[in-house]
Structure 1
Amino acid sequence: MLILGPDAVDASLTYKGLIETLREAFKAGAVQPVRHHHHVERPDGAANTLLLMPAWTDLQAAGRSAGGHIGIKIVTVAPDNGKLSKPAVMGNYLLLDAATGEPQAMIDGQKLTVWRTACASALAADYLARPDAAVHLICGAGALSPHLAKAHRAVRPLRRVLLWNRTAAHAAAVAEALQADGIDAQAVDDLDAAQAQADVISCATLSSVPLVKGALLKPGTHVDLVGAFTPTMRESDDEAIRRARVYVDTRAGATKEAGDIVLALQSGALTEGDIRGDLFDLTRGKAAGRNLDSEITLFKSVGAALEDLAAGIAVYRAQQG
């Protein structure tokens, strides 16, 4: 069994390559049981979350008897880790041979997650963002933020990145790192003013209060929500949902786990029929993406085990040569 750390993941993937891998994965489909979602109570801090996300190649649908894979991601989310200067999200990905059950690889789950999450968002943006989108606002300065900037630049001609974070120094550090990679990036203090400038807004936070305000969105904006992974968390307000054409990564996941969708359904700002499509629909041509330059579009992602499986297989195959 291969043990593949974060450097091996980085060496195995490219943004354009993984975006296309995910496009083909959503077209083909996979078996995705409902993820296990457990709260781990702690006496001296915020509760942690344990996520178990299994998926396997749908060999029967593909007409094959061998050659597939089983994967499971084991993830913990510890909100208090920031106080310890550690990432909130940690995990590993176990890849198995589907025919024999033999372990093939243990892959760094944190690195795999940021790659697949950013590239899934960029895949959605390829259908939903304006072709001439130039300004990208990223809310949140965690490990995912530079990947969101680079993945979206693989599908749109984004010339400028604005970064906002509750801790301004973290936004400044990410902006500096992006600048070192040749990207025009700057930290901003005024989130409302930045929203009014942005063509694409990505939110990757653990917020329980709306950060993206519908009243501030200019026509043609694409909103990309990838944080807020429980029914009580949200990064957008009801007005943003009302004004937008709404899409999700998977209907089953988003309508049960994504607070931006669940809370909007509860308030009446959204109905299930208002959800225009998911990534299965978009990649298979069953749902139309952006129709007009003036439309506001919104994509909500809570993560799909299919994405981890596709990315894990891509890393494993790259390391196999």
Structure 2
Amino acid sequence: MKLRMLSAADVRKALPMPLAIQVMQRAFAQFSAGRTVVPLRTRIQVDGGNLMFFMPAFLKESRELGLKVIALWPDNSVKGLADAYSLVTIFDVDTGKPLAIMNGEELTAIRTGAGGGLAADLLARPESSVVAVFGSGVQARAQLEAVCAVRPIREVRIVGRTPVSAEKFAAEIRNWPDLPTVFTPPREEAVAKADIIITATTSNTPVFKGKCLSPGTHITAVGSYTHDMQEVDSDTIRKAKIVVDSLEACLAEAGDLIIPIEQKEITSDDIYAELGQIVNGDLPGRENPDEITYFKSVGIAAQDAASGHEIYRIAKEMNLGQLVEL
């Protein structure tokens, strides 16, 4: 049996952001139409705080089958190692044969960014040009890249955990094409009159105040991945049109929603739609220029399986990676 092994560089080359956004449209459309098999992620605890996650998915319409495995070892930094490792394996639906194993960290960054880009395309005002980014890591970068693919961004405002991290990220993206202005302002200034806000942090507490939002702002939130983390405050959630990647997963995992529900600021009925419902035309996206829209992503395995198969298809065409005999 031959298996194609794909590195992070191979994944990047095979799945540019505009294509990734198209793939996410396909994945979310099938997911919200009930044409996927996607259980909630399974996790096991290993020696204290270390965790293994397992995320299988089958997309019935596009015939895509895959499994992502994540190892999260929070104390690895003291050993000079990454705190998370991930692999995605894809399979032939007709035979069950494994087709490829690929770097999961890079795939996850791209597909999560692309999901945010798709949400911005459906929910942000068409003329949106000013983005505030909370975070300075891999996901902040991917989310910004995706937003730049769907809106005419002319100004970026970066808020990092520290001024040093913010400026380091700003220096990097100043070299991107067609981004003439990049600032690292205080958070209140970053939010003021921003058209789009991206939150991609590991913060347990809100990173900005809802009272600072301007009418018509769109927010994409990809941090707050446990029930007790709240990146976006309840005031923002209460006045926003709430869209999620997966209703079931967000109600189980997203503190941004779980906390205001527990505080009786909102109920689960206040969640407007899954992103796939808007993709499918079941519900409209933005309905007026003044409404505040909020997209919460915790990530679903359908994104991984769809991305993995697209990467595999392109990798074969471009002869990327290495074929290994097992």
TM-score (norm 2): 0.90
1:181 maps to which of 176, 201, 209 = 176
| Aligned 8 A contact 1:212 1:240 in 2 | no
Q: Which stretches in structure 1 are left out of the alignment for 5+ residues?
A: none
**Residue 56 (structure 1) shift:** 1.4
Q: CA-to-partner distance for each residue in 1:40-90, whole Å, 9 max, x for gaps?
A: 454xxxx233221110132xxx4xxxx833211111334455666765442
Alignment map for 1:69-84 (pairs within 5 Å): 69-80=64-75
Which residue of structure 2 aligns with residue 284 of structure 1? 280
Provide the rounded CA distance (Å) in 2 between the counterparts of 1:131 and 1:85: 44
Which residue of structure 2 aligns with residue 308 of structure 1? 304
Alignment map for 1:11-90 (pairs within 5 Å): 11-29=13-31, 30-42=36-48, 47-58=49-60, 62=61, 68-80=63-75, 87-90=82-85
Q: Secondary structure at the match of 1:110?
A: helix
Q: What's the RMSD between the two structures over aligned residues? A: 1.8
Which residue of structure 1 aligns with residue 188 of structure 2? 192
**Residue 198 (structure 1) shift:** 1.4
1:106 maps to which of 101, 104, 115 = 101
**Residue 115 (structure 1) shift:** 0.2
Q: Which stretches in structure 2 are left out of the alignment for 5+ residues?
A: 318-326
Provide the rounded CA distance (Å) in 2 between the counterparts of 1:83 and 1:198: 38
2:245 maps to which of 240, 243, 249 = 249
Q: Secondary structure at the match of 2:192?
A: helix
Which residue of structure 1 aligns with residue 235 of structure 2? 239
Provide the rounded CA distance (Å) in 1 between the counterparts of 2:230 and 2:91: 35
1:167 correspondence with 2:169: no
Provide the rounded CA distance (Å) in 2 between the counterparts of 1:256 and 1:57: 22
TM-score (norm 1): 0.91
Q: CA-to-partner distance for each residue in 1:93-149, whole Å, 9 max, x for gaps?
A: 111112222111111000000000000011111111111111111111111122111
Which residue of structure 2 aligns with residue 214 of structure 1? 210
| Aligned 8 A contact 1:118 1:147 in 2 | yes
Counterpart of 2:164 in structure 1: which amino acid? A
1:136 correspondence with 2:138: no
**Residue 247 (structure 1) shift:** 0.8
**Residue 212 (structure 1) shift:** 2.9
Which residue of structure 1 aligns with residue 324 of structure 2? none
Counterpart of 1:37 in structure 2: which amino acid? R
Q: Secondary structure at the match of 1:49?
A: strand
Equivalences, count: 310
Which residue of structure 2 aligns with residue 116 of structure 1? 111
Provide the rounded CA distance (Å) in 2 between the counterparts of 1:165 and 1:81: 22
In terms of mean alpha carbon deviation, does 260-269 or 47-56 score higher? 47-56
Which residue of structure 2 aligns with residue 267 of structure 1? 263
Provide the rounded CA distance (Å) in 2 between the counterparts of 1:84 and 1:137: 34
Change in Cα spacing, 1:52 to 1:69, as seen in structure 2 (3 Å) is: same
Change in Cα spacing, 1:260 to 1:251, as seen in structure 2 (3 Å) is: same
Q: Secondary structure at the match of 1:180?
A: coil
